[in-house]
Amino acid sequence: MKQHLFGKTLTELQEIVVELGLPKFTAKQITDWLYKKQISSVNEMTNLSLKARDLLNEHFELGLTAYTKVQVSVDGTRKYLFPTIQNKFIETAMIPERERKTVCVSSQVGCKMGCLFCFTAKQGFQGQLSAGEILNQLKSIDEVNEVTNIVYMGMGEPFDNLDEVLKSLEILSAEWGFAMSPRRITVSTIGIIPGMLTFLEKSEAHLAVSLHTPFNEERRKIMPVQVAYPIDEVVEEIKSWDFGRQRRVSFEYILFEGLNDSPAHVNELARLLRGLKCRINLIRFHPVPGTPLKSPGEKTIQQFKDALNNKGILTTVRASRGEDIYAACGLLSTKELVK
């Protein structure tokens, strides 16, 4: 099978063109076509010589994949379904706001982390996405030219696919790539410390950590990663890192009725995060079949937010979006798998 050009870095493309006997500057021309323009074939790279296009066509293909399904919510959120390896599927969400359009991309096919509240976990791990497959979720949606922000919060754990995620981040932020500011990109993790530290060193994108409870034993029951990487160790590593003025760290906190929404949780969160400049994003739980978890009432959510803000932790409640189109991550792709 031919290799894909889309998802290659400038360095990789330079190696390719030199190997093909083409001038090294051809690589920069190719990146312009791949990441700055809309094309559907190598033949559309009209500033390349006919010889160059013939050589590329002989060994490579573009590597873009169209979505197979899109669901549109009454609130404007769109959920795209993309085919991937071995007839599996991944999901991509486009979330419109007043002056922003945020794309939520997947980094893996399924997930091996086993979080109790995540429907993607019920698929199990089915494969890694290449940098090209990650970026294809941006390039192949209808709103490609309107996207302002990217979040790695879709299917999978980004730091369990670290090399391809870092490669995709390089292409997103490089001048020769999409030229997007890393301050418009956020990568979410459940707290895989080695991958997190490498990401902090090699990327300037924002970091988000899925926290969900500050108590070790409680977190272990809903997030098996707690055994290998306890949340207090994750937070201590973050506290030791210099984020500078513009780079942001935030914590995602899904509220579950009767599990993690008490005053004791507020107090322990304040203790855990003391001295760290950060934000907590509270998230209403979208029901997932097969789990006993449910979201608390609106009064409890607002009281929890106010209590954290009174402790000096900037806390907001994330607006629920796309509830009428399988909002929970993994629902749409799982339904497609079991047809």
Whether 201 is catalytic is no
pLDDT recorded at residue 338: 47
DSSP string, 115-181: -TT-SGGGG-EEEEPPHHHHHHHHHTSTTTTT--EEEE-SSS-GGGSHHHHHHHHHHHHSTTTT---
Q: What is the mean pLDDT of residues 272-276?
A: 97
For the ranges 81-85, 243-247, 327-331, which has the lowest average pLDDT?
A: 327-331
What is the DSSP pairing of strand 149-152 with strand 101-104?
parallel
Q: Which amino acid is at 195?
A: G
Superfamily of domain 78-337: Aldolase class I (3.20.20.70)
> How is residue 106 written in tokens?
């997947």
pLDDT recorded at residue 289: 79
For the ranges 7-11, 224-228, 333-337, which has the lowest average pLDDT?
A: 333-337
CA atoms within 13 A on the CB side of 115: 23
pLDDT recorded at residue 201: 96
pLDDT recorded at residue 332: 61
Mean pLDDT computed over every residue of the chain: 94
Whether 104 is catalytic is no
Band (pLDDT 50/70/90 cuts) for residue 285 is very high
User: To the nearest whole percent, how much of the chain has pLDDT over 90?
Assistant: 86
Q: Is the pLDDT of residue 234 over 50?
A: yes
Q: Is the pLDDT of residue 336 over 60?
A: no
Over the stretch 45-104, which tens digit does the pLDDT of each residue have?
Answer: 999 999 999 999 999 999 999 999 999 999 999 999 999 977 899 999 999 998 999 999
For the ranges 116-125, 144-153, 160-169, 183-192, which has the lowest average pLDDT?
A: 116-125
Q: What is the mean pLDDT of residues 244-271?
A: 96
Of 91, 133, 157, 252, the active-site residue reads 91
pLDDT recorded at residue 290: 78
Grouping H, G, I as helix, E, B as strand and the rest as coil, residue 216 is helix
Q: What is the mean pLDDT of residues 222-244?
A: 96
Percent helix / strand / coil, the chain, rounded to 5: 40, 20, 45
Q: What is the mean pLDDT of residues 30-46?
A: 97
The structural architecture, per CATH, of the domain 3-61 is Orthogonal Bundle (1.10)
What is the residue extent of each domain of the chain? 3-61, 78-337
DSSP E strand stretches across the chain? 3-4, 60-61, 69-72, 78-83, 89-96, 101-104, 108-110, 125-128, 149-152, 185-189, 206-210, 249-255, 279-284, 314-317
pLDDT recorded at residue 330: 55
Among 281, 332, 320, 285, which Cα is nearest to 74's?
A: 320
Of 115, 118, 278, 329, the active-site residue reads 329
